[in-house]
Amino acid sequence: MKRTAYVNYHVKSHEPQAFLFDLDGIAGNIISPQLAPTKVQVTDLRDETTSVNFERDGIRFDQHKSTVKQFDTDHNWQATYNEELIALLQVSIGAEEVIIFDHTVRIDDPQADRKPARNVHNDYNEAGAHQRLIDIVGPEKAADFAAGHYGFVNVWRPAETTIKSSPLGFIRPSSIQAEDWMTIQLIYPDRVGQILGVAAGTGHDWFYLSDMTPEDVAIFNIYDNKGAPFLAHSALDMDGAKSAAPRKSIESRTLVRYRN
């Protein structure tokens, strides 16, 4: 079933485009580049006989029950959750080695430090992924990873309750043209990173899975050194959505080495 949603595409410009984070030392204080609110048609995979495939589309939706029920800021859950995710990725995508290096809990609340990302983007460009690899494992081991097959994979799930507002939506990789992508800088007080932003384009095939529960996970590529597809994604503001509890989700970024 097709549904209507609103997203914020990036705008192509001759000027550098950047997000500025934590300005004046205030967590969550952000200045965004120019964005273009756009109405899009989104396929709800919950109602469809069609599906997505990790090898072809860079994403899969799985059922995965976690023993962790609350992702508190004390992070006492992290070791247990990491073990669960490593086992999940070994089975679901054939990972040989998994390094989990970041967990981000997002709450769709004006007072939250980390809110859902409402810009259409992918988390890394090639240069950013290469630098992140070195940051995580060091230059010597990074060269070893790069000699084989590795990737960065995001594991996303609802936290605590079913998602009823601002679900995570994706663009099927085959429907994006090369010229739709652009480099966006992320400027933090202590470092500068890069992501890929997406400009509005004709034929973008948006999809999502409605009513995801904490036992639903989306596993998707954000970089692959052998050219496997990665996905543009964004929170979706669904047209006509009824008032609901704020979306709370957790995304876990992982470095994965595959069997050669």
The shares of helix, strand and coil residues in the chain, as percent rounded to the nearest 5, are: 20, 40, 40
Number of helices followed by number of strands (H, E) in the chain: 4, 15
Which one is predicted more confidently, 48 or 168?
A: 168
pLDDT in tens, 168-177: 999 999 999 9
* Rounded Cα distance, 101 and 65, in Å: 21
pLDDT for the residue numbered 216: 97
Of all residues in the chain, the percent with pLDDT exceeding 70 is 97
Token pair recorded at residue 29:
């204080």
pLDDT at 193: 82
Tens of pLDDT, residue by residue over 67-125, are: 999 999 888 999 999 999 999 999 999 999 999 999 999 999 988 888 999 999 999 99
Domain spans, the chain: 2-258
DSSP string for 76-116: TTHHHHHHHHHHHHHHHS-EEEEEEEEEEEEE-STT-SSPP
pTM: 0.93
Supply the CATH classification number for the domain 2-258. 2.60.120
Q: Which of 21-30, 109-118, 164-173, 224-233 has the lowest mean pLDDT?
A: 21-30
How many Å from the N-terminal Cα to the C-terminal Cα in the chain?
Answer: 39
